[in-house]
Structure 1
Amino acid sequence: MSKRTDLIYVDGESTKIHTLESKRRLSIENPSFKNALAVWHMFSLDDTAGNNSFLTICGDVEIGIEIESPELEESIKRGGDGCSAKFNGGYLDAGQGSRGELNLKGKEMSLCVRLIDPKGDWDAPIISKYGSSSRMIYRLFAAQANNQMLLAFELGLDSDDRPLQVSVPIELIGEEKWHDIIIRYNKTKLEMFVDGVLVDEEWTMGEIRQANSEPCLIGAEISEGNIKSGFYGFIDHIALWDRAISNEEIISLSGGKDLVTQREHEILGDEKAIEQYWKPRGHNVYVGDCMPFFYDGTFHLFYLHDRRHHRSKWGYGAHQWAHISTTDLVNWKQHPLAIPITEEHEGSICTGSVLFYQGTYYAYYATRIPKQGEFLSYATSINGIHFIKNQPNPLATPEPPYKKGPFRDPAIFQDEEGLFHLLVTSELEVPYLTARGGCLAHLTSVDLQTWETKEPFIVSGQIGQPECPDYFYWNGWYYLVYSIHGIARYRISKEQFGPWQKLKNDSFDGAQLRVLKTAEFTGNRRIGVAFLPDGGYGGHLIFREIIQYEDGSLGTKFVEETIPKFGESIQLQFGVLTDSILNDDNNIKINATDSLESVVLSETPRDFRVVLQINPEPNASCFGICVRGSGNFCEGNEIRIEPHKQKVGVCKPDSSLLEENESSSIYFVDGLDKPFKLDAIVKNDLIDICIDNRRTLISRIPKFNGNRLFLFAQNASVSFENIEVRPFI
Structure 2
Amino acid sequence: MTIPQPAVTWHLRLRLPPRCDEAIVLVAQDGGSTIELVPSAAGPRLRCRIALEPPRNVIARRRADGRPVMAAMETGVMTLEAPLVAARGTVDVLVRMRPEVIALHCDGALMDEEWPFTDRRGIGEPRIVRSDLVERLTVADDVAAPSVSVADTARWLPDQRPMGPFWRPPGENASAGDTMLCANGDELHLFWLADRRWHGSKWGVGAHQFDHAVTTDLLTWRRLPCAASIEEPWMTVGTGSCVHDGKRFHLFWHNHGERFGAREGVFVSTSSDGERFGIEPGWNRQDVVQPGVWREDGRWRLLSGMRLYESGDLRDWRLADERFIDATDGISEECPCAFGDGYRDGSRQWLLTGRTGFWTWARGERPQQRHHDAPYDGLMVPMVAAWRGRLILAGWLHDDAATIGLPQVWGGTLMFRELMPRADGGFTMRWVPELVPDGAPWVEALATVTIAEGAHADVDLPDGPVHLRLRVQTTADLSLVLGGGADAIGGSEIRIEASRRRLLAARATNGVFSGQAAQPAFVGRDFALEGIDGLDQVRTIDVIVWPDRGGVVIDTQLDIGRTIACRHLGPWTGGARVAVRGGSARIAAEVRVLTR
* Counterparts in 2 of 1:719 and 1:493: CA distance versus 1, 3 Å: same
* Counterparts in 2 of 1:646 and 1:149: CA distance versus 1, 3 Å: farther
Residue type at the aligned position of 1:501: Q
Displacement of 1:190 after TM fit?
A: 0.9
CA distance in 2, matches of 1:602, 1:302: 38
CA distance in 2, matches of 1:553, 1:305: 31
* Counterparts in 2 of 1:514 and 1:123: CA distance versus 1, 3 Å: same
Is the contact made by 1:558 and 1:693 (CA closer than 8 Å) also made in structure 2? no
Instruction: From 289, 294, 317, give the equivalent of 2:206.
Output: 317
Displacement of 1:373 after TM fit?
A: 5.6
1:345 is paired with a residue whose SS is coil
Partner of 1:538: 411
CA distance in 2, matches of 1:144, 1:440: 52
2:5 is paired with a residue whose SS is coil
Is the contact made by 1:597 and 1:714 (CA closer than 8 Å) also made in structure 2? no
Partner of 2:536: 673
Deviation readout 1:587-617 (Å, 9 max, x if unpaired): 221121xxx2012234644431111232224
* Counterparts in 2 of 1:191 and 1:714: CA distance versus 1, 3 Å: same
Please give the residue correspondences for 1:214-613 in structure 2 after superposition, counting only pairs within 5 Å.
218-219=128-129, 234-241=133-140, 243-247=141-145, 261-269=150-158, 271-346=160-235, 348-369=236-257, 370-372=260-262, 374-394=264-284, 396-398=285-287, 407-416=288-297, 418-424=298-304, 439-454=305-320, 455-462=322-329, 466-473=333-340, 474=343, 476-483=347-354, 487-495=355-363, 498-510=366-378, 513-522=379-388, 524-534=389-399, 535=401, 536-572=409-445, 574=446, 585=447, 587-592=448-453, 596-602=454-460, 604-613=462-471
Residue type at the aligned position of 1:154: R
Instruction: Give the TM-score taking structure 1 as reference length.
Output: 0.69
Q: Which moved more, 1:145-154 or 1:529-538?
A: 145-154
Partner of 1:55: none
Residue type at the aligned position of 2:393: G
Partner of 1:22: none
* Counterparts in 2 of 1:336 and 1:591: CA distance versus 1, 3 Å: same
Is 1:126 paired with 2:26?
Answer: yes
Displacement of 1:490 after TM fit?
A: 1.4
Deviation readout 1:298-330 (Å, 9 max, x if unpaired): 111111121222222233322222111111110
Partner of 2:485: 630
Displacement of 1:507 after TM fit?
A: 4.0
Displacement of 1:571 after TM fit?
A: 3.5
Q: Which moved more, 1:688-697 or 1:643-652?
A: 643-652
* Counterparts in 2 of 1:492 and 1:149: CA distance versus 1, 3 Å: farther
Is the contact made by 2:485 and 2:573 (CA closer than 8 Å) also made in structure 1? yes
2:227 is paired with a residue whose SS is strand
Instruction: From 712, 716, 720, give the equivalent of 2:579.
Output: 712
Is the contact made by 2:293 and 2:300 (CA closer than 8 Å) also made in structure 1? yes
Deviation readout 1:66-105 (Å, 9 max, x if unpaired): xxxxxxxxxxxxxxxxxxxxxxxxxxxxxxxxxx9xx964
Displacement of 1:542 after TM fit?
A: 0.4
Displacement of 1:345 after TM fit?
A: 1.9
Is the contact made by 1:299 and 1:327 (CA closer than 8 Å) also made in structure 2? yes
Residue type at the aligned position of 1:111: W
Displacement of 1:207 after TM fit?
A: 2.5
Displacement of 1:282 after TM fit?
A: 1.9
Partner of 1:140: 35
2:232 is paired with a residue whose SS is coil
Partner of 1:728: 594
* Counterparts in 2 of 1:677 and 1:155: CA distance versus 1, 3 Å: same
Is the contact made by 2:359 and 2:367 (CA closer than 8 Å) also made in structure 1? no
Displacement of 1:653 after TM fit?
A: 6.1
Residue type at the aligned position of 1:627: L
Residue type at the aligned position of 2:357: R
* Counterparts in 2 of 1:117 and 1:693: CA distance versus 1, 3 Å: farther
CA distance in 2, matches of 1:105, 1:561: 52
CA distance in 2, matches of 1:552, 1:661: 28
Higher relative CO (CA 8 A, sep ≥ 6), structure 1 or 2? 2
Q: Which moved more, 1:670-679 or 1:525-534?
A: 670-679
Residue type at the aligned position of 1:645: R
Partner of 2:70: none
CA distance in 2, matches of 1:233, 1:333: 44
Residue type at the aligned position of 2:372: K
CA distance in 2, matches of 1:541, 1:169: 24
* Contiguous gaps of at least 5 residues in structure 1: 1-99, 131-135, 220-230, 252-256, 399-406, 425-438, 575-584
Is 1:205 paired with 2:117?
Answer: yes
Deviation readout 1:475-502 (Å, 9 max, x if unpaired): 542212102xxx2431122245614222
Which of these two proteins has the greater Rg computed from alpha carbons?
1
Displacement of 1:679 after TM fit?
A: 1.0
Is the contact made by 1:338 and 1:385 (CA closer than 8 Å) also made in structure 2? yes
Deviation readout 1:603-635 (Å, 9 max, x if unpaired): 644431111232224xx3x32323234325556
CA distance in 1, matches of 2:572, 2:201: 34
Residue type at the aligned position of 1:409: Q
Displacement of 1:700 after TM fit?
A: 0.8
2:315 is paired with a residue whose SS is coil
1:564 is paired with a residue whose SS is coil
Is the contact made by 1:290 and 1:517 (CA closer than 8 Å) also made in structure 2? yes
Is the contact made by 2:12 and 2:94 (CA closer than 8 Å) also made in structure 1? yes
CA distance in 2, matches of 1:506, 1:392: 38
1:309 is paired with a residue whose SS is helix
1:263 is paired with a residue whose SS is helix
Residue type at the aligned position of 2:7: E
Partner of 2:503: 648
Partner of 2:563: 696
* Counterparts in 2 of 1:633 and 1:698: CA distance versus 1, 3 Å: closer
1:716 is paired with a residue whose SS is coil
Residue type at the aligned position of 2:456: S
- RMSD (Å), alpha carbons: 3.0
* Counterparts in 2 of 1:162 and 1:146: CA distance versus 1, 3 Å: farther
Is the contact made by 1:118 and 1:177 (CA closer than 8 Å) also made in structure 2? no
1:188 is paired with a residue whose SS is coil
* Counterparts in 2 of 1:192 and 1:423: CA distance versus 1, 3 Å: same
Task: Report the count of equivalent residues.
Answer: 549
Displacement of 1:372 after TM fit?
A: 4.2
* Counterparts in 2 of 1:688 and 1:351: CA distance versus 1, 3 Å: same
Is the contact made by 1:508 and 1:556 (CA closer than 8 Å) also made in structure 2? no
Deviation readout 1:514-540 (Å, 9 max, x if unpaired): 000100122x21010001122422211
CA distance in 1, matches of 2:357, 2:199: 23
Partner of 1:81: none
Displacement of 1:543 after TM fit?
A: 0.1
* Counterparts in 2 of 1:463 and 1:148: CA distance versus 1, 3 Å: farther
Residue type at the aligned position of 1:442: L
* Counterparts in 2 of 1:447 and 1:674: CA distance versus 1, 3 Å: closer
Partner of 1:29: none
Is the contact made by 1:351 and 1:468 (CA closer than 8 Å) also made in structure 2? yes
Partner of 1:63: none
* Contiguous gaps of at least 5 residues in structure 2: 56-73, 402-408, 520-524
Deviation readout 1:402-445 (Å, 9 max, x if unpaired): xxxxx4322222332x3322112xxxxxxxxxxxxxx3333222
CA distance in 1, matches of 2:210, 2:41: 29
